[in-house]
Amino acid sequence: MHIIAVANQKGGAGKTTTALNLACGLAARGKRVLAIDMDGQCSLSFLLGMENDRLQETERNVYAVLRGKQPLSACIVQTGSVDLIPAAPALYEADMTISQIGKEYRLRDALKGITDYDYVIIDTCPSLGILTVNAFTASERVIIPVQAELLSLIGLQQLAETLEAIRTYCNPALLIDGILVTRYQSRTRLSRDFMNVLRQQAAAMQTKVYASAIRESIIVKEAQSMRRPIFEYDAKAAVTQDYIQFIDEFEKGVSA
């Protein structure tokens, strides 16, 4: 079972979109996939069919798992293509309420009894608090989506330092699988300059920039508004092909 965290502390990088389409794309290839939403915004849970009132009311969510109130197996929701451990708005309180010794290992320990999946895809919150630390500690690899703009590079160094600390203290085997460029416009000089700088930064982080970049496209927002993975919404769109190529590249790397 491969456990993959999708992370970037900067909002608007395409983190949830990447987690959604990676999970659904792998499921479409016959893989058994569990998605875990660790963001208090609950966006992944909503896009996978959970209604806001149910997210407010249910006590079977990842927050209950992290507090030891529920086993992870009791919180699995079947959404159709993938299974889901939903988020909860109360996750915003996690840094204050999850403070006991061993707090970094809550998700890792909860996942130990789960063996029915080929992939676990974790959508992290846009911060580097206890939720993201739990995701990194539990994971085998991290995918970092980065919007194609120079300001996106600023937070990468901080993220790299956090990942290095996780390797030192919690999860020595954690790998950065790669950096995925989103909202890319190949015809602009700014985007080309961005890619050159990003490759240098990726090398310093001992990782790669995926050869597959996700182009800027209204199709992505339209698919989200319909709460459908992009492969179902418009299988022939150029941006859909970008995601297919990315998943091809990702799977090849995991199986290498």
Percentage helix, strand, coil for the chain under 3-state DSSP, each rounded to 5 = 50, 15, 35
What's the mean pLDDT in 239-249? Answer: 95
The CA–CA distances, whole Å, from 30 to 25, 26, 117, 143, 243 equal 9, 7, 11, 21, 17
What is the per-residue pLDDT for 18?
A: 95
**195-242: per-residue pLDDT in tens?**
888 999 899 899 999 999 999 889 989 998 888 889 988 889 999 999
Q: Is the pLDDT of residue 175 over 80?
A: yes
- Residue 97 in this model has a pLDDT that exceeds 90: no
Give the percent of the chain with pLDDT over 70.
96
pLDDT of the residue at 53: 64
Stretch 113-136: mean pLDDT: 91
- Confidence band, pLDDT 50/70/90 cuts, at residue 148: confident
Q: Which range, of 149-163, 169-183, 233-247, averages the lowest pLDDT? A: 149-163
Q: What is the DSSP string of 106-172?
A: HHHHHHTT--S-SEEEEE--SS-SHHHHHHHHH-SEEEEEEESSGGGGTTHHHHHHHHHHHHHHT-T
Percent above pLDDT 90 for the chain: 52
β-bridge pairing 2-6 and 119-123: parallel
Domain spanning 2-255: which superfamily? P-loop containing nucleotide triphosphate hydrolases (3.40.50.300)
The answer to whether the CB of 212 falls within 8 A of the CB of 178 is: no
Containing H/E element for 5?
Answer: strand 2-6
pLDDT for res 76: 93
Mean local confidence (pLDDT), 80-92: 90
* Pairing relationship of beta strands 77-78 and 175-182 according to DSSP bridges: unpaired
State the Cα–Cα distance between residues 155 and 174, nearest whole angstrom. Answer: 19
| Mean pLDDT within 239-252 | 94
pLDDT confidence bin for 171, thresholds 50/70/90: very high
Note the pLDDT of residue 129: 87
Which has the higher per-residue pLDDT, 153 or 161? 161
Long-range (24+ apart) CB contacts under 8 A made by 186-191 are 186/213, 186/215, 190/149, 190/150, 191/148
Predicted confidence band at 173 (pLDDT cuts at 50, 70, 90)?
Answer: very high
Q: What are the strands of the beta sheet with 2-6, ordered from one edge?
A: 77-78, 83-85, 33-37, 119-123, 2-6, 141-147, 175-182
Q: What is the pLDDT of residue 49?
A: 86
pLDDT of residue 58: 65
For the stretch 26-54, pLDDT in tens is 999 999 999 999 998 899 999 998 877 66
Average pLDDT, the chain: 89
Going by the DSSP 8-state scheme, the letter that residue 6 receives in this structure is E
Q: Is the pLDDT of residue 174 over 80?
A: yes
Residue 214: predicted pLDDT: 92
DSSP 236: T
Report the run of H or E that residue 46 belongs to, with start and end.
helix 43-47
In whole angstroms, give the CA distance from residue 52 to residue 65.
19
Q: What is the pLDDT at residue 138? A: 96
- What are the residues facing 144 on neighbouring strands? 179
Mean pLDDT of all residues in 157-162: 86
Q: Which residue has the tokens 């309420």?
A: 97
Q: Which of 71-80, 113-122, 187-196, 210-219 has the lowest mean pLDDT?
A: 187-196
> How many C-beta atoms lie closer than 10 Å to residue 190's C-beta?
11
